[in-house]
Amino acid sequence: MEKLLCFLVLTSFSHAFGQTDMSTKAFVFPKESDNSYVSLKAQSTKPLKAFTVCLQVYTELSLTRGYSIFSYATKKHANEILIFWSKGRGYTLTVGGPEVLFETPEVTAPVHICTSWESASGIVEFWLDGKPRVRKSLQKGYTVGTEASIILGQDQDSFGGGFETNQSLVGDIGSVNMWDFVLSPDQINTVYAGGTFSPNVLDWRALKYEVHGEVYTKPQLWP
């Protein structure tokens, strides 16, 4: 009896955190909502003086509004790190509140994004399908806080919540990896080609996550 109870508890715990090799999978958000999202558990909880986030995202051109892709909130800042598509403008990266814009045309195919930031210089890089945009500057000397709530598919207007339907992602997202340092151009091109460099904040091949609402895990639609 004790062994059975132990098995049930461990099974429940594993399901709740959902640690999985997601290397051939994607999260699918089939419709607009204010309660469907995926929460991720970071491997590292130390303050960040630099980071790189890479991911794949696939949405419809018919979506006539902006949407959140990656939201990293702390109790101090709801928009500690935010990757957001702004309709008619392009992609924005927010660090600690302020944001920078990378003007980008809309595309129908799955898009691979890598973006990085470092505190020492404030330099922000944004790579789209393995091609860099012009570097920009943001929040020089800043430190990204700890104990983060990391959300896919919704924009956190408060820590772990404050979601709005008109900012939700409709589509697929996958290959989400995060490092606590800036990847080199060669490393980013390797990641774009399907390689990896032992992500130490979020690792898509050993992801701890929890699904909320109507989100599904399906085979990825990109190579």
Weakly modelled stretches of the chain, pLDDT under 70: 1-18, 62
In a domain, 20, yes or no: no
Within a domain: 116: yes
Residue 178 placed within a domain: yes
Please tell me the predicted confidence (pLDDT) of residue 210: 96
Per-residue pLDDT, 7: 36
pLDDT of residue 19: 77
Q: How far apart are CA 113 and CA 91, in angstroms?
A: 10
Q: In 3-state terms, what secondary structure has residue 188? A: helix
3 belongs to a structural domain? no
32: nearest Cα among 165, 188, 152: 165
Provide the residue range defining the domain that includes 68.
35-219
Within a domain: 201: yes
Q: Using DSSP, state whether 131 is helix, strand or coil.
A: strand
Task: Label residues 85-113 b or e (16+ Cβ within 10 Å = b).
Answer: bbeeebbbbbbbeebbebebeeeeebbbb
Sequence-ordered alpha helix ranges (H) in the chain: 2-17, 185-192
Q: What pLDDT, on a 0 to 100 scale, did the predictor assign at position 17? A: 59
Q: What are phi and psi of 7, to 5 degrees?
A: -60, -45
DSSP class of residue 48 equals B
For residue 158, what is the domain's CATH number?
2.60.120.200
Give a yes or no: residue 77 inside a domain.
Answer: yes
Whether 14 maps to a domain, the answer reads no
Number of domains the chain contains: 1
Q: Is residue 122 part of a domain?
A: yes
Q: What is the pLDDT of residues 75-85, one digit of tens each?
A: 999 999 999 99
Task: Give the model confidence (pLDDT) of 133-169 as tens digits.
Answer: 999 999 999 999 988 999 999 999 999 999 999 999 9
What is the percentage of the chain residues whose pLDDT exceeds 70?
91
